[in-house]
């Protein structure tokens, strides 16, 4: 994984540093949190995901995540979440 000043690999569409990610995840902006967690679940390696969020964090914000349907269904199964389709 990158150092604190380097852009993180699981944000391919823009540069986000470790410090910025930590600030987003600790902040009160639920839209930014769901955006960041969506990127983690889409692009990060398994072990990297859980360095930043817990399974409960993901369950809590799950309805707001921006995930393709197939990925949403896969995460819902892994996290034992009832995922409405559509």
3-state secondary structure of 7: strand
> Does residue 63 belong to any structural domain of this protein?
yes
- Asked whether residue 83 carries a pLDDT value surpassing 60, the answer given is no
Domain that holds residue 72: 18-79
> Does residue 85 belong to any structural domain of this protein?
no
What pTM was estimated for this model as a whole? 0.87
Q: How confident is the model at residue 2 (pLDDT cuts 50, 70, 90)?
A: very low
> Does residue 7 belong to any structural domain of this protein?
no
> Does residue 8 belong to any structural domain of this protein?
no
Q: Which two tokens stand for residue 45?
A: 């390696």
pLDDT tens string 35-45:
999 999 999 99
Nearest to 55 by CA among 30, 34, 80: 80
Query: Which runs of consecutive H residues, i.e. helices, occur in the chain?
Result: 18-26, 30-43, 46-52, 55-61, 69-79
In sequence order, which residues have a C-beta less than 8 Å from that of residue 44 and are 6 or more positions away? Answer: 9, 10
What pLDDT, on the 0 to 100 scale, is given for residue 81?
A: 83
> Does residue 12 belong to any structural domain of this protein?
no
Question: What does the alpha-carbon distance between residue 64 and residue 74 come to, in Å, rounded to a whole number?
Answer: 16
């Amino acid at each position: 994984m990158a150092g604190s000043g380097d852009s993180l690999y699981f944000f391919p569409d823009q540069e986000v540093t470790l410090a910025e990610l930590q600030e987003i995840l600790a902040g009160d902006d639920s839209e930014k949190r769901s955006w960041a967690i969506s990127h983690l679940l889409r692009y990060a390696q398994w072990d990297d995901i859980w360095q930043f969020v817990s399974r409960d964090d993901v369950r809590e914000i799950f309805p707001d995540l921006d995930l393709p349907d197939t990925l949403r269904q896969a995460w819902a199964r892994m996290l034992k979440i009832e995922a409405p389709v559509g």
